[in-house]
């Protein structure tokens, strides 16, 4: 299974993020677990440094939570997440 294809019995990224918008920490933890490895690998490739990737990874997830109200549940989560990771912000 890859991060883009949740099993049928699990909620989609967008459903989880809609729950995060309502301060559901369990949904946040599920998204974090689902995207932890793919996002870290992306940031490591992008920065070329484990240390920089670690910093960018933490900053990305902090911004996801801090700016959760800006997420539009009608849109896909992955591009939003990677835009935050790539641009260092929203």
Domain boundaries, the chain: 13-87
- Supply angle C-alpha 54, 60, 62, rounded to 5: 105
pLDDT, greater one: 7 or 70: 70
Token duo for residue 67: 């700016």
What is the CATH architecture of 13-87?
Answer: Orthogonal Bundle (1.10)
What confidence score (pLDDT) does residue 9 get? 81
pTM listed for this prediction:
0.85
pLDDT over threshold 60, residue 3:
no
Mean pLDDT, rounded, of the chain: 91
* Span 38-63, average pLDDT: 96
C-alpha span between 69 and 17 (Å, rounded):
9
In angstroms, the CA 50 to CA 47 distance is 8
How far apart, in whole angstroms, are the C-alpha atoms of residue 24 and residue 43?
A: 26
């Amino acid at each position: 299974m890859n991060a883009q294809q949740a099993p049928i019995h699990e909620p989609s990224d967008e459903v989880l993020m809609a729950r995060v918008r309502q301060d559901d920490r369990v949904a946040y933890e599920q998204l974090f677990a689902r995207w932890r490895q793919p996002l870290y690998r992306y940031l490591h490739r992008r920065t070329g440094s484990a240390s920089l990737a670690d910093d960018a990874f933490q900053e990305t997830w902090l911004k996801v939570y801090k700016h959760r109200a800006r997420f539009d549940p009608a849109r896909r989560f992955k591009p939003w997440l990677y835009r935050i990771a790539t641009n260092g912000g929203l």
